[in-house]
């Protein structure tokens, strides 16, 4: 595979890919001379999608591309300058636009590499840098990471259901527009599909492209046999015939007839595709017909609104399907079309530069109360690399010596102690330092392999679709206590 570079996808800059309030806040910070106050934000989700037990982090390559190209062009500044407030006066003064013109991205970014398995409340990305800049990029980071993480997770679930079978992504035509389709193809590949029908995604990202033919091909000829014969002439060694245009099992018989003629000329039919009807029954019948005719290697491809639960059910029914073609349900994440990732301020450098003020967003629901600190995620694993528990801790404070206690942020009675010798790794890795990419991001193939490895390492009870176990993620005890202290303080209940 030869992954095409992502660089330039968003050049010239997409700096206006944001909500207006980010720019109005940026102006406000600038006016208050707060633009350079060092701030820390975390991007995280509160619940894994699809009522599942995990998510697969994706979108960082797009984020890096976006940040590398972040700069306000003349057109951007002219547009911002044209915006008017309620009284018809410019929303942004010229001096502020001049500031934006010369602004250079200078934040540090730490992130989980794409393909990392992530759980609720864990920062996927941590941004540290000038308040104005770290705030301004919120919306773009969320739109890039939320969608791609959602689709990569859906793909990982489909991969789980399909086991070792081939999975093809067929979603572009029903995706949420061109960019939805393109980024979904990339995220789906990252999450575990084998190939896409999306040719632009093939060119851009080096994803293998594959496909069969449409019903219209069959309809364009006087009968099925003529249509199959013509397709075989065009692609004598790369043909998959769609057999359900009129009558599926009759279609299979026609496919066999043409396959015999192909064999006589030294070519083998690659497969047939079923796209309607009872896929369990029809695939078993088709398999029998093909085997009896001496074509045990002709693959059976199935499509028609498939997703992970249907694949599981079809397998239980004894379906004889080798390749799953999955479109709409995958690229639109049909049963949960958005991941609710958020981006929250967690620390601000004190005005006198003497340390950090840690910040918290309260909520009636404890689950929505943010986590203060400059967070890192430490994953404790068995000797064999099976994840056991994740610990969020504040890197701005020293960790206690000896064993560490991890406490569930929602239930203080759920806690565990980890010994210092327990193998572990830190999930957030440096991506940008002072606005510069530390090193090129890994190729897509590597991120895909990571996703595969990390999902498989999870206990099956966390991977299952129905009522999965909750993987233990907790706050290191000092952080847990500090967060409670801050909650009480902000509610006016702190100690005198």
Ligand X SMILES: Nc1ncnc2c1ncn2[C@@H]1O[C@H](COP(=O)(O)OP(=O)(O)OP(=O)(O)O)[C@@H](O)[C@H]1O
Selected from 35, 143, 196, 212, the binder of ligand NIO by CB under 6 A is 212
Q: What track of x and - describes contact with ligand NIO for positions 158 through 187 (by CB under 6 A)?
A: ------------x-----------------
Judged by beta carbon, residue 28 or residue 277, the one nearer ligand X is: 277
Q: Closer to ligand NIO at the Cβ: 299 or 485?
A: 299
Q: Which is nearer to ligand PRP, 134 or 156 (CB)?
A: 156
- In residues, how long is the chain? 496
SS (H, E, C) 420-454: CCCCEEECCEEEEECCEECCCCCCHHHHHHHHHHH
- In angstroms, give the least distance from the CB of 240 to ligand NIO: 7
What is the Cα–Cα distance from 345 to 373, expressed in whole angstroms?
9
Among ligand PRP, ligand X, ligand NIO, none, partner that 278 touches (CB below 5 to 8 angstroms by kind): ligand X
> Edge to edge, what strands does the sheet with 271-274 contain?
195-196, 166-169, 323-326, 299-302, 271-274, 240-242
Euclidean distance between CA atoms 110 and 428, whole angstroms: 5
Smallest distance from the beta carbon of 328 to ligand PRP, in angstroms?
3
Q: Determine, following the binding rule CB under 6 A, whether residue 248 of this chain makes contact with ligand NIO.
A: no
Using the rule CB under 6 A, is 478 a contact of ligand X? no
Q: Return the half-sphere exposure (C-beta side, CA atoms, 13 A cut-off) of residue 435.
A: 12
- Per-residue binding string, ligand X, 269-288, x by CB under 6 A, is -------xxxxx--------
382 binds, among ligand X, ligand PRP, ligand NIO, none (CB under 5 to 8 A by kind): none
Rounded Cα gap, residues 386 and 191, in angstroms: 19
| Contact between 211 and 197 (Cβ < 8 Å) | yes
Least distance from ligand X to the Cβ atom of residue 387, Å:
33
Contacts by 365-372, CB closer than 8 A, 24 or more apart: 366/409, 366/410, 367/46, 367/410, 368/46, 369/483, 369/487, 370/42, 370/344, 370/345, 370/346, 371/42, 371/121, 371/346, 371/409, 371/475, 371/479, 371/483, 372/346, 372/347, 372/482, 372/483, 372/486
Minimum Å distance from CB 258 to ligand NIO? 18
Give the CB-nearest residue to ligand PRP. Answer: 327
Q: Which residue do the tokens 């547009």 mark?
A: 79
Determine the Cα–Cα distance for residues 422 and 410; give it in Å rounded to an integer. Answer: 24
Q: What is the dihedral of CA 250, 254, 255, 256, to 10 degrees?
A: 100
Q: Does 18 bind ligand NIO (CB under 6 A)?
A: no
Residue closer to ligand PRP, measured from CB, 64 or 306: 306
Residue 174: name its binding partner from ligand NIO, ligand X, ligand PRP, none (Cβ under 5 to 8 Å by kind): ligand PRP
Write down the least CB distance from residue 213 to ligand PRP, Å: 8
What is the contact mask toward ligand NIO in residues 265 to 304, using x (rule: CB under 6 A)?
--------x-----------------------------x-
What six digits make up the tokens of 183? 């980024």
* Binding-site ranges for ligand PRP (CB under 6 A): 170, 173-174, 214-216, 275, 303-306, 325-329
Smallest gap from residue 305 Cβ to ligand PRP (A): 4
- The sheet carrying 436-437 orders its strands as 356-358, 342-349, 38-44, 125-130, 108-111, 429-433, 436-437
Among 144, 306, 326, 451, binds ligand X (CB under 6 A): 306
- Find out whether 369 and 345 touch, Cβ atoms under 8 Å: no
Residue closer to ligand PRP (CB basis): 215 or 299: 215
Contacted by 237, from ligand X, ligand PRP, ligand NIO, none: CB < 5 to 8 Å by type? none
Binding site for ligand X (CB under 6 A): 276-280, 304-306, 310, 313-314, 317
Q: Could you list the residues that contact ligand NIO (CB under 6 A)?
A: 170, 197, 211-212, 273, 303, 325, 327
């Amino acid at each position: 595979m030869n992954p095409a570079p992502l660089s330039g996808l968003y050049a010239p800059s997409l700096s206006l890919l944001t909500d207006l309030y980010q720019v109005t806040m940026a102006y406000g910070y600038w006016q208050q001379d707060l633009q350079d106050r060092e701030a820390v934000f975390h991007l995280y989700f509160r619940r894994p999608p699809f009522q599942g037990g995990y998510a697969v982090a994706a979108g960082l390559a797009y984020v890096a591309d976006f940040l590398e190209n972040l700069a306000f062009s003349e057109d951007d500044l002219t547009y911002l300058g044209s915006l008017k407030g309620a009284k018809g006066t410019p929303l942004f003064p010229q001096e502020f636009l001049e500031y934006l013109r010369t602004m250079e991205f200078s934040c540090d970014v730490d992130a989980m590499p794409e393909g990392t398995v992530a759980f609720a409340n864990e920062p996927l990305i941590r941004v540290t840098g000038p308040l104005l800049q770290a705030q301004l990029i919120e919306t773009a980071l969320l739109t890039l990471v939320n969608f791609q993480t959602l689709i990569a997770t859906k793909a990982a679930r489909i991969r789980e259901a399909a086991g070792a079978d081939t999975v093809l992504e067929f979603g572009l035509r029903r995706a949420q527009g061109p960019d939805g389709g393109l980024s979904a193809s990339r995220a789906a590949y990252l999450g575990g599909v084998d190939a896409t029908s999306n040719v632009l995604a093939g060119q851009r990202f080096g994803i293998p492209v594959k496909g069969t033919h449409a019903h219209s091909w069959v309809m364009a000829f006087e009968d099925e046999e003529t249509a199959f014969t013509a397709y075989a002439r065009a692609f004598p060694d790369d043909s998959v015939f769609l057999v359900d245009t009129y009558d599926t099992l009759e279609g299979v018989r026609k496919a066999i007839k043409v396959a015999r003629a192909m064999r006589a000329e030294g070519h083998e039919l690659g497969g047939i595709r079923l796209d309607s009807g009872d896929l369990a029954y029809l695939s078993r019948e088709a398999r029998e017909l093909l085997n009896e005719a001496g074509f045990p290697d002709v693959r059976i491809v199935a499509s028609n609104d498939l997703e992970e639960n249907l694949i599981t059910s079809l397998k239980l029914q004894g379906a004889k399907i080798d390749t799953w073609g999955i479109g709409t349900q995958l690229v639109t994440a049909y049963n949960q079309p958005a991941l609710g990732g958020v981006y929250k301020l967690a620390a601000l450098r004190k005005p006198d530069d003497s340390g950090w003020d840690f910040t918290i967003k309260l909520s009636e629901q404890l689950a929505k109360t943010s986590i203060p600190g400059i967070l890192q995620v430490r994953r404790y694993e068995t000797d064999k690399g099976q994840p056991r528990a994740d610990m969020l801790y504040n890197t701005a404070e020293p960790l206690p010596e000896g064993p560490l206690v991890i406490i569930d942020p929602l239930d203080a009675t759920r806690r565990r102690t980890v010994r210092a010798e327990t193998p572990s790794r830190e999930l957030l890795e440096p991506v940008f330092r002072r606005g510069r990419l530390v090193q090129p991001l890994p190729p897509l193939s590597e991120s895909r392999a990571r996703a595969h490895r990390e999902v498989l390492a999870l206990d099956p009870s966390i991977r299952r679709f129905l009522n999965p176990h909750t993987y233990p993620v907790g706050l290191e005890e000092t952080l847990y206590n500090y967060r409670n202290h801050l909650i009480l303080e902000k509610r006016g209940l702190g100690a005198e």
